[in-house]
Amino acid sequence: MLRVLVAALALALSATAAQAQAPAFDGLRVIFCGTSGPLPVAGRAKPCTAVQAGGALYLVDIGPEATENLMTWRIPVAAAKAVFVTHLHSDHIGDLGEFNMQSWVNGRMAPLAVVGPAGVDKLANGFNLAYEDDHRFRKAHHEHGARFETAEGLLAPKVVTVARPDGTAVAWKDGDLTVTAIRVHHDPIDPAFAYRFDYKGRSVVVSGDTTKWAPLAVAAKGADVLVHEAQNNAMTKQLAQGLAMMGNARMSSVIADTVTYHTEPAEAADIARQAGVKALVLNHLTQAGLPMFTPETFAKGIEDGGKLDWRLAKDGMTIELPAGSAEVRFGSY
């Protein structure tokens, strides 16, 4: 057992050393830390997209299981500065308390900003209250060997207001990074946001949950990559019918309702073409766990409007957009 522990520690230290020796990457790096929807899907956490820029880590949403992914892949969570919330559905916010605690324990030395639409103030304050005793206990037990200021472990809400239903507003600015909030259409959830990250001439847009929304194409104009939610409504209706046949009328109704506020893959492709992006990644793949799910059936008709560089998101997929380049590099953990 001791040999196993020593070997594991050696591997961890060698990985850390290799990371320290690797040349610093300058640009935007996108990491898909959760790519499903609210239903359980094996191998997929709930919605979470991480963006690294200028040595800092930012998240768009933080759904359940996403923190485990980030830490398993040894993402430097202590570098986190902000979580951008697209909307307040539980699958987009459920891991906020855990991520905040883990990034603080790992060495984050400032409150974590929670940025988003009205309601993120209640969200942040609620998690602060829920974790108040946890933080106090950790400080009492661990501060003899490390700094554990409880004020640094707090969530700091920042409510962003976008007045027009088709409008935008700067949500965050830090050096060369600008993050723009874009109102999208996810009624009755209102407001709901997409986010555009611009850093040293490179840009990525994350749609959040929305119907096909022409103003999003305008706000995403010229971005390198569009990460857009997608749902195949024929599959959704098939699932709802199956649940009804099994006698689960409640869940059948809930599933059937979702066709009114999500985007079909071919519709997301239309937005990508209108925006002129280099690549489209379909995300929030609630249906990925269904027996009938294949890329061909799920994204049927996606290229009817013309050829497009597109792919389905997977947990652990990465995108690198180097500064001073037009290159789009896909990889994985």
Per-residue pLDDT tens digits for 144-159? 888 889 999 999 999 9
Per-residue pLDDT tens digits for 275-292? 999 999 999 999 998 888
Residue 9 within a domain? no
φ, ψ for residue 326, nearest 5 deg: -105, 10
Residue 6 within a domain? no
Residue 7 within a domain? no
Per-residue pLDDT tens digits for 98-131? 999 999 999 999 999 999 999 999 999 999 999 9
Confidence grade of residue 20 (pLDDT, cut at 50, 70, 90) = very low
Per-residue pLDDT tens digits for 78-106? 999 999 999 999 999 999 999 999 999 99
Predicted pLDDT at 18: 40
Residue 214 within a domain? yes
**CB 48 within 8 Å of CB 84:** no
Q: Which domain holds residue 267?
A: 25-332
pTM of the full structure: 0.93
CA atoms in the 13 A half-sphere facing the CB of 48: 30
Residue 2 within a domain? no
Beta-carbon contacts of 249 under 8 Å, excluding residues fewer than 6 positions away, are 243
Per-residue pLDDT tens digits for 26-35? 999 999 999 9
Residue 122 within a domain? yes
CA distance 236 to 290: 10
Confidence grade of residue 24 (pLDDT, cut at 50, 70, 90) = confident
Q: DSSP letters along 23-85, please?
A: PPP-EEEEEEEE---SS-BTTBPSSEEEEEETTEEEEE---TTHHHHHHHTT--GGGEEEEE-
Residue 11 within a domain? no
Predicted pLDDT at 274: 98
Amino acid at 295: P
Average of per-residue pLDDT across 178-188: 98
Q: Is the pLDDT of residue 162 over 80?
A: yes
Q: Is the pLDDT of residue 240 over 50?
A: yes
Residue 8 within a domain? no
Q: Is the pLDDT of residue 9 over 70?
A: no
Q: Is the pLDDT of residue 19 over 60?
A: no
Number of domains into which the chain is organized: 1
Average pLDDT score over the chain: 93
* CATH at residue 39: 3.60.15.10
Q: Which two tokens stand for residue 68?
A: 């485990």
